[in-house]
Chains A and B, each alone.
Chain A
Amino acid sequence: MKRSILEVARVIRSKNAGPYELTLDILFKRRRDFELCRKRRWITGAKIARLYGVPRSHILKVIWFEPSHAVKITMKRRIPSGAPGDSDVYGAQQHAPLLGLRFGGSSR
């Protein structure tokens, strides 16, 4: 049985980490789900790159953060904040593709 990310996460957000990087946070509701996802490597750079349609090399870090049961993904910004062609100066609305993630069942 696969579960929607909305069942296991309490916060899913995106934000600038400086003008050149975008950072995605998923904070889990329960330690159990956090541990399970970390163990099964549910979030990987390759998966996020696929989801956002960007080269794998643009995903800079995937960090599992124990103190808040969270996984953080930092990626290169498509265009630096506020430069011509940018569409989200604060980077605060780039999280939506994560909302479609499902996990559980196989640990692919």
Chain B
Amino acid sequence: MISSSDQFRILSATAILGYGFPETSFQNGLRKNPHLIAADAGSTDPGPYYLGAGKSFTSRAGVKRDLRLMIREGVRRGIPVVIGSAGGSGARPHVDWCEAIIREIAREENLRFTLGVIYTDVPKTLVRRALKRKAVKPLACVPPLTEEALVATTHLVAQVGVQPFIRALDQKCDVILCGRSYDPAVFAALPIRLGYDPGLALHLGKILECAAIAATPGSGADCAFGTLKKDSFILEALSKQRRFTPQSTAAHTLYEKSDPYHLPGPGGELDLTGCSFTDMGGGRVEVRGSRFVPSRKHWVKMEGARPVGFRSVSIAGVRDPILIRQIGPVLEAVQRQVKTLLRRERLSGRVLFHVYGRDGVMGPMEPVKQTKSHELCLLIEAIAETEEAAETLLSLTRSTLLHYGYPGRIATAGNLAFPFSPSDLKMGIVYEFSVYHLIELDEQRLFPVVIRKLP
């Protein structure tokens, strides 16, 4: 049982592993004798490419620098170090990439420790079985999962909750490296295992996973410190320039979420309707009233991405006012002309124009319909089944547009100003999210801990 004098202290290093943090803040956190050092590396924000391709969206050097400080100081002091959503997307290649970095650090710093590795890739056969018994459901605005999407998906991960971490802690791991995980899990697993309230532990984790973003001024590249108690938790910043305020903390609850009162996660929902945020002075905020409401069945979110073709792009400027006035109809006419050529050549693919200076950022949602700009930036994008087809399509579109004879044209030498030679860039494989669904599964059984003794 947790008594009212008990405390569980957590040092959150950084919002995304690899974003960095000031060493002085980290040292300030260590001086407060934390029971846990943790960071989550994950986000779907950078888009589907990183999951689909198995690549990290943060740099190896950045991740190694952050991990070196966390692991060296944690292992030397006997403080568990927990890393979630390895490599940002948390699929097997991301976990292996991160493990290689950890091994290098262990070697270079002469550290001996037990590493627990948790892979969270979901076998497709399991998803097929779950589909049959209706144990898969799409999240809001997501189409139902099809066999075709499942087959094409290159990496499929589950956002696991606290249970696999608790298993790893049971097995006395000093450092835990997990694939995709629910952001707060790295912070909440250990205190939940000790008997702290899961609602408070998860809400604290939800704030700490963004490190000092919830402080003011906010920063994802600075540490934050959390103290969990029986009935509340306290947040504080670790550098003099920042502090937590009730407003900054509450505002963070809004960030990147569709509903600030109800935050769904693995196995249930965090209910913040009864939450209070109190100023404790000294840049500290106390939070009370966060509740975890378990669901009847254990639903976990899956994320998957699939390739949809190859992309080539070209960037060009337009400065001719006669062309700028009719840029919309001209681009449509070029699209039509290219489509006719494609049909003749039996090629397929898509051309997209991003017109910066008109509606490049908002597309059809842009309320300003008539541009006042004296120049435009055109980003011409071609997507096709093969790299070669994408290049051909782009080249065809670029040259058609360059020489297109629009009404009233008096600049007959060319319609585009290219900043570069070559004008075309190969962007490689394009991915899109193919799975963003809930699945009912047993995360403890499905995602076991692999124990590795380092060195």
Q: Which residues of A contact B (CB under 8 A)?
A: 11, 15-21, 23, 25, 27, 51-54, 60-61, 63, 65, 67-68, 70, 72, 74, 76-78, 80-90, 93-94, 96-97, 100
> Which chain A residues border B253 with CB–CB below 8 Å?
65, 67-68
16 A-B pairs whose Cβ atoms sit less than 8 Å apart in the complex: A18-B44, A20-B139, A20-B140, A20-B436, A21-B141, A65-B254, A72-B260, A76-B140, A80-B48, A81-B45, A81-B47, A81-B433, A88-B361, A88-B362, A90-B45, A93-B362
Identify the stretch in B165-173, B197-205, B363-371, B447-455 within 8 Å (CB) of chain A at 4 or more residues: B363-371
Contact call A67/B44, Cβ cutoff below 8 A: no
Interface residue B142 (Cβ < 8 Å from any Cβ of A): yes
Total B residues in contact with A, Cβ cutoff 8 Å: 45
Which residues from A are CB-within-8-Å of B48?
19, 80-83
Could you say which residues of chain B place their CB within 8 Å of the CB of A11? 251
Shortest distance from the beta carbon of A41 to any chain B beta carbon, whole Å = 18
Q: What's the A-B contact tally at a CB cutoff of 8 Å?
A: 134
Contact in complex: B256, A65 (CB < 8 Å): no
Of A60, A80, A84, the contact of B383 (CB 8 Å cutoff): A84
A20 near B141 with CB under 8 A, answer yes
Q: Is the CB of B260 within 8 A of A63?
A: yes
Interface residues of B in 350-394 (CB under 8 A from A): 350, 352, 354, 360-365, 367, 381, 383
For residue B261, CB closer than 8 A to chain A, the reply is: yes
User: What is the distance, in angstroms, from A72's C-beta to the closest C-beta of chain B?
Assistant: 6
Cβ 8 A contact of A67, one of B47, B250, B350: B250
Most chain B CB within a 10 A radius of its CB, from A11, A27, A81? A81
Q: Is the CB of B363 within 8 A of A82?
A: no
- Of all chain B residues, which has the CB nearest A69? B247
Q: Which residue of B lies closest to A63 (CB)?
A: B259
Verify B364–A16 contact, CB threshold 8 A. Answer: no
| B431 CB within 8 Å of chain A | yes
Q: With A52-B367, A67-B275, A82-B49 known to touch, is A16 a contact of B383 (CB < 8 Å)?
A: no
Q: How far is the CB of B436 from chain A (nearest CB, A)?
A: 6
Distance, CA A52 to CA B256, complexed state (A): 19
Residue from B45, B308, B354 within 8 A of A16 (CB atoms): B45
Cβ-defined contact, A18 with B139, below 8 A: yes
In the bound assembly, the distance between CA atoms of A63 and B257 in angstroms comes to 11
* Distance from B179 Cβ to chain A, minimum over Cβ atoms (Å): 18
User: Are A61 and B254 closer than 8 Å at their CB atoms?
Assistant: no
Whether the pair A63, B261 counts as a contact (CB closer than 8 A) is yes
> Assuming A52-B365, A76-B141, A78-B365, is B45 touching A83 (CB within 8 A)?
no
Q: Which residues of A contact B367 (CB under 8 A)?
A: 51-53, 97, 100
Contact of B47 among A60, A72, A82 (CB under 8 A): A82
Which residues 64-97 in B have Cβ within 8 Å of A in the complex?
none
Beta-carbon contact of B256 and A70 below 8 Å: no
Q: Determine if B430 is an interface residue (Cβ-Cβ < 8 Å).
A: yes
Q: Does B277 contact A (CB under 8 A)?
A: yes
